[in-house]
Amino acid sequence: MSVIVDCYPTDRPNDVAGLELFLGNLPLDQIERLALLGKTEGTATINDFSRELAVGAAETTIINFGGVELLSRSTLIFSTGCEGIISPSVYVLATLKDEKISAGGSLQLAMGGAQTRIMAAEELATDIQVGLVATAVELALKEASLRPDQASLVLVKSPILTPNEAALTADPAVIARAGISGLSRGAAALGVAVALGELEIENLEDINIGKDFHQYATRAMTFSGTEVKHCEILVLGNRQGANGTSRIYSRQLNDILDTRSLKALFCEAGCNLDEIGELAGKEILQAVMLKVGIAPDGHVRGERTTVYQSEVDADKHMRASASGVIGSLLGTGRIFVSGGTEHQAPPGGGICACIVDTKSQ
Q: Each residue of 296-328: pLDDT tens digit? A: 999 999 999 999 999 999 999 999 999 999 999
Q: What is the pTM of this model?
A: 0.95
Count CA atoms closer than 13 A to 291's CA, side-chain side.
31
Average of per-residue pLDDT across 101-108: 72
pLDDT above 60 for 101: no
Domain 245-357 is of which CATH architecture? 2-Layer Sandwich (3.30)
Query: CB neighbours (10 Å) of residue 135?
Result: 16
Which amino acid does the sequence have at 171?
A: D
Model confidence pLDDT, tens digit, residues 200-258 = 877 666 678 988 888 999 999 999 999 999 999 999 999 988 888 999 999 999 999 99
**CB burial of residue 332 (10 Å; 0-12, 13-18, 19+):** middle
Q: For residue 354, which phi and psi values (nearest 5 degrees)?
A: -140, 145
pLDDT above 70 for 27: yes
**CB burial of residue 260 (10 Å; 0-12, 13-18, 19+):** exposed
- Residues 73 and 139: their CA atoms lie apart, in Å, by 13
Specify whether the CB–CB gap between 185 and 344 falls below 8 A. yes
**CB burial of residue 311 (10 Å; 0-12, 13-18, 19+):** exposed
pLDDT above 60 for 103: no
pLDDT above 70 for 287: yes
- Residues 57 and 44: their CA atoms lie apart, in Å, by 18
User: What distance, in Å, lies between the first and last C-alpha atoms of the chain?
Assistant: 20
The domain defined by 1-100 carries CATH number 3.30.1330.170: yes
Which amino acid does the sequence have at 149?
A: D
Domain ranges of the chain: 1-100, 103-244, 245-357
Alpha helices in the chain (DSSP H): 17-24, 50-71, 127-144, 163-167, 172-178, 181-195, 259-268, 314-330
DSSP 8-state assignment for residue 325: H
Sequence-distant (≥ 6) Cβ neighbours of residue 273 within 8 angstroms: 263, 267, 279, 280
Which amino acid does the sequence have at 74?
A: S
Pick the CATH number of 103-244 from 1.10.3720.10, 3.40.50.2300, 3.30.1330.180, 3.40.190.80: 3.30.1330.180
Average of per-residue pLDDT across 255-283: 96
Query: CB neighbours (10 Å) of residue 224?
Result: 27
Query: CB neighbours (10 Å) of residue 147?
Result: 12
Note whether 1-100 and 245-357 share their fold.
yes
